[in-house]
């Protein structure tokens, strides 16, 4: 962990605020839409807090183990990947989306391609 304690502290404060905001939202009956449920923001925030407080690997890319630059963490406090790994992951997801839509659609409609 090479990010400074002050930086981690400020990120923690931000994340705690975000967590409270979201928790209140859900208490008031707002539910996740399809995409949000897939990547539950509350869970992501709690994971980030967990990393700051316990595992001490906050700000370290989960893919390559490099430190995620502070500028990126400031803009995206929940980031778990560095820019390179995120781009690679996005490209992979893009590819899956491009090759999968028909298959997914037909199974939803109950017309599996057999
Ligand atoms: Zn990385």
Distance 3 CA to ligand 1 centre (A): 16
Distance 78 CA to ligand 1 centre (A): 14
Closest C-alpha to 8, from 86, 64, 60, 85: 60
**Confidence at residue 99, expressed as pLDDT on a 0 to 100 scale:** 87
**Confidence at residue 111, expressed as pLDDT on a 0 to 100 scale:** 53
Distance 85 CA to ligand 1 centre (A): 4
| Per-residue pLDDT tens digits for 36-83 | 555 688 888 999 999 999 988 999 999 999 999 999 999 999 999 999
**Confidence at residue 28, expressed as pLDDT on a 0 to 100 scale:** 81
Proportion of the chain above pLDDT 90, given as a percent: 58
Q: Any idea what the Cα angle at residue 4 is, between residues 8 and 88, rounded to 5°?
A: 70
Distance 64 CA to ligand 1 centre (A): 4
Distance 57 CA to ligand 1 centre (A): 13
Taken in order of first residue, the domains within the chain and their CATH numbers are 5-82 (1.20.120.910)
Distance 89 CA to ligand 1 centre (A): 10
Q: What is the pTM of this model?
A: 0.70
């Amino acid at each position: 962990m090479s990010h400074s304690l002050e930086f981690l502290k400020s990120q923690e404060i931000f994340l705690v605020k975000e967590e409270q905001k979201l928790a209140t939202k859900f208490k008031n009956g707002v539910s996740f839409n399809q995409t949000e449920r897939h990547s539950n923001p509350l869970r992501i925030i709690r994971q980030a807090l967990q990393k700051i407080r316990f595992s001490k690997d906050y700000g370290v890319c989960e893919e390559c183990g490099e430190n995620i630059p502070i500028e990126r963490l400031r803009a995206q406090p929940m980031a778990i990947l560095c820019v390179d790994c995120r781009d690679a992951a996005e490209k992979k997801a893009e590819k899956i989306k491009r090759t999968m839509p028909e298959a997914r659609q037909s199974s939803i409609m109950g017309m599996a391609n057999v």
